[in-house]
Structure 1
Amino acid sequence: MPMTKEDNELLTRVDDGAPMGEMIRQHYWIPAVPSSKLVADGAPVRVRLLGANYVAFRTTDGSVGVLDELCPHRKTSLLMGRNENNGLRCIFHGWKLNAHGEVVEAPNHVGDQQQFCKHVRVNRYRVEDRGGIVWVWLGRGDTPPKFPELPFVSLPESQRSVTSQEVPTNWVQGVEASMDSSHVGVLHESTTQITAGSGNQRLHMTKALAPRLEFEDRPYGYRYAAIRPLSDDQVYVRLNNFVMPWYGIICAPDANGPSTVFFSTPVDDVTHRAWFVHFNPHRPLGMTVMSATPDVWAFPPLPPGGPEDNWGQNRDLMKRGHATGFPQHLGTEDFAMFLGQGPIADRTTEQLCSADGAVLRVRQALLKSVREFQAGRTPTLADSPELDYRQAVSVGGVLPAGSDWRDLSSAA
Structure 2
Amino acid sequence: MAMTKEENELLTRVENGAPMGEMIRQHYWLPAVPASKLEADGAPVRVRLLGKNYVAFRATDGSVGVLDEQCPHRRASLALAGNGENGLRCIYHGWKLNVKGEVVEAPNHTGNQEGFCSKVRVNRYTTVDRGGIVWVWLGQGEKAPPFPELPFIDLPADQRSVTSVEVPTNWVQAVEASMDSSHVGVLHESTTQITAGGGNERMLMAKALAPKLEFEDRPYGYRYAALRALPDDQVYARVNNFVMPWYGLICPPDANGPTTVFFSTPVDDVTHRAWFVQFNPKRPLGMTIMSASPDVWNFPPLPPGDAKDNWGQNRDLMRRGHKTGFPQHLGTEDFAMFISQGPIYDRSEEQLCSADGAVMRVRALLLRAAREFIDGKTPALADNPQLDYRAIRSVGGVIATGANWRTLADQ
Q: What TM-score, normalized by structure 1, do the two folds share?
A: 0.99
Contiguous gaps of at least 5 residues in structure 1: none
Equivalent residue letter for 1:222: Y
CA drift at 1:206 = 1.0
Separation of aligned partners in 2, 1:350 and 1:180: 15
- Name 1:240's counterpart in structure 2: 240
CA drift at 1:145 = 0.1
- Name 1:262's counterpart in structure 2: 262
Alignment of 1:129-168 (within 5 A): 129-168=129-168
Alignment of 1:11-410 (within 5 A): 11-410=11-410
Q: Per-residue CA shift, 1:366-395, capped at 9, x if unaligned?
A: 000000000000000101110111122101
Give secondary structure in 2 for the equivalent of 1:366: helix
Give secondary structure in 2 for the equivalent of 1:174: helix
Separation of aligned partners in 2, 1:197 and 1:212: 26
Separation of aligned partners in 2, 1:390 and 1:51: 30
Give secondary structure in 2 for the equivalent of 1:16: coil
Q: Per-residue CA shift, 1:26-68, capped at 9, x if unaligned?
A: 0000000000000000000000000000000000000000000
CA drift at 1:345 = 1.0
Separation of aligned partners in 1, 2:408 and 2:292: 31
Equivalent residue letter for 1:300: P
CA drift at 1:291 = 1.6
Give secondary structure in 1 for the equivalent of 2:10: helix
Are the aligned partners of 2:199 and 2:254 in contact in 1 as well (CA < 8 Å)? no
CA drift at 1:247 = 0.2
Separation of aligned partners in 1, 2:293 and 2:264: 19
Separation of aligned partners in 1, 2:34 and 2:287: 18
Give secondary structure in 2 for the equivalent of 1:367: helix
Give secondary structure in 2 for the equivalent of 1:257: coil
Give secondary structure in 2 for the equivalent of 1:356: helix
Q: What TM-score, normalized by structure 2, do the two folds share?
A: 0.99
Instruction: Tell me whether 389-398 or 11-20 shows the greater mean CA deviation.
Output: 389-398
Equivalent residue letter for 1:71: C
Contiguous gaps of at least 5 residues in structure 2: none
Q: Per-residue CA shift, 1:101-144, capped at 9, x if unaligned?
A: 00000000000101111111100000010000000000000000
CA drift at 1:197 = 1.1
CA drift at 1:198 = 2.4
Are the aligned partners of 2:265 and 2:272 in contact in 1 as well (CA < 8 Å)? yes
Equivalent residue letter for 1:101: G
Instruction: Tell me whether 193-202 or 350-359 shows the greater mean CA deviation.
Output: 193-202
Give secondary structure in 1 for the equivalent of 2:327: coil
Separation of aligned partners in 2, 1:117 and 1:224: 53
Give secondary structure in 1 for the equivalent of 2:185: helix
Q: Per-residue CA shift, 1:307-347, capped at 9, x if unaligned?
A: 00000000000000000000000000000000010000110
Equivalent residue letter for 1:203: M
Equivalent residue letter for 2:287: M
CA drift at 1:232 = 1.2
Separation of aligned partners in 2, 1:300 and 1:115: 48
Separation of aligned partners in 2, 1:287 and 1:313: 27
Give secondary structure in 2 for the equivalent of 1:43: coil
CA drift at 1:292 = 1.9
CA drift at 1:199 = 2.3
Instruction: Tell me whether 234-243 or 195-204 shows the greater mean CA deviation.
Output: 195-204
Separation of aligned partners in 2, 1:109 and 1:44: 25
Q: Which ranges of 4 or more aligned residues in structure 1 deviate by more than 2 Å?
A: none
Equivalent residue letter for 2:369: S
Give secondary structure in 2 for the equivalent of 1:380: coil
Separation of aligned partners in 2, 1:137 and 1:330: 31
Equivalent residue letter for 2:407: D
Separation of aligned partners in 1, 2:342 and 2:304: 17
